[in-house]
Amino acid sequence: MELERVLKQLKEKGHKLTPQRQGILKILMVSKVPMTALEVRQKVQKNHPRVSLNTVYLNLLMLTQMGLVIQTHLQNRTASRFEYQAEGSHHHHAICLSCGKSLCLDHVPEPKAGKPGEDPGFQILGHTLEFYGYCSSCKKAS
Kindly report the pTM of this predicted structure.
Answer: 0.69
SS3 137: helix
Hey, where are the domains in the chain? 2-141
pLDDT digits (tens, 9 = 90+) for 51-99: 999 999 999 999 998 889 988 776 556 678 888 887 766 667 777 777 7
- Count of C-beta atoms within a 10 Å radius of residue 42: 14
CA nearest 66: which of 6, 26, 116, 19? 6
Q: Which CATH number fits domain 2-141: 1.10.10.10, 3.60.21.10, 1.10.3720.10, 3.40.1520.20?
A: 1.10.10.10
